[in-house]
Amino acid sequence: MSVTATTAKPVSTRVELEINGVAADVRAGLSTTLLTVLRDELHLTAAKRGCNQGVCGACTVEIDGVPMRSCLSLAHGCVERPVRTLEGLLETPRMQALQRAFAASGAFQCGFCTPGMLVAAHALLAADPTPDDAAVRRELSGNLCRCTGYARIVAAVQDAAAAINASGEAAS
């Protein structure tokens, strides 16, 4: 890979972000990613760095309500765009149903891919409360897992969907 010589020193400037509903004042250079800011400045370490190229999915967070790669999002590019990490989604009934289903199904082993997987699954169920097998596989194919072989993750997402829908019906 080629390396270009830098003549200018990277400059960190103030940038105000909205993370999990709270204003966060951080310092970031132009090339600083949201992932770096989340982990190193704000100590929100659920989002992980697995590849830094947007392929593995371990860094997935919600920006503007939609799952995105925090490793491919520049901190300065996230002004006025609400960011939600796994830490900020823990209270939602949908996430809690997913966590219960993941635990019951054995849908994680080492846990490194799990935060990104949960954020992506959460968004999937928000957009499509009754995804079929094919939809789950398609929508989560961008979240790599090396431990589980995926089958239990698919089952857990389906189980969570069923549980959410059942409780929703009960409530209505």
- Cα–Cα distance, 109 to 16 (Å, whole number): 36
- Cα–Cα distance, 155 to 45 (Å, whole number): 27
Identity of the residue, 79 or 166, whose beta carbon is nearer to other proteins in the bound complex = 79
Pair 17, 79: CB distance under 8 Å? yes
How many other β-carbons are positioned within 10 Å of the β-carbon of residue 115?
Answer: 25
Q: Which of residues 95-154 bind other proteins (CB under 8 A)?
A: 99, 102-104, 106, 108-115, 118, 120, 136-154
Q: Which of residues 67-96 bind other proteins (CB under 8 A)?
A: 67-69, 71-74, 76-77, 85-87, 90
Query: How many Cα neighbours within 13 Å face the side chain of 121?
Result: 34
Identity of the residue, 148 or 171, whose beta carbon is nearer to other proteins in the bound complex = 148
Identity of the residue, 22 or 170, whose beta carbon is nearer to other proteins in the bound complex = 22
In the complex, what is the shortest distance from the CB of residue 172 to other proteins, in angstroms, rounded to a whole number? 28
In the complex, what is the shortest distance from the CB of residue 169 to other proteins, in angstroms, rounded to a whole number? 25
Pair 157, 140: CB distance under 8 Å? yes
How many other β-carbons are positioned within 10 Å of the β-carbon of residue 141?
Answer: 11
In the complex, what is the shortest distance from the CB of residue 91 to other proteins, in angstroms, rounded to a whole number? 11
Binding mask of the shown chain, residues 14 to 53, with x at each position contacting other proteins by CB under 8 A: ----------------xx-x-----x---x-xxxxxxxxx
Beta strands in the chain (DSSP E): 12-19, 22-29, 60-63, 66-69, 83-84
Identity of the residue, 144 or 162, whose beta carbon is nearer to other proteins in the bound complex = 144
Identity of the residue, 65 or 170, whose beta carbon is nearer to other proteins in the bound complex = 65
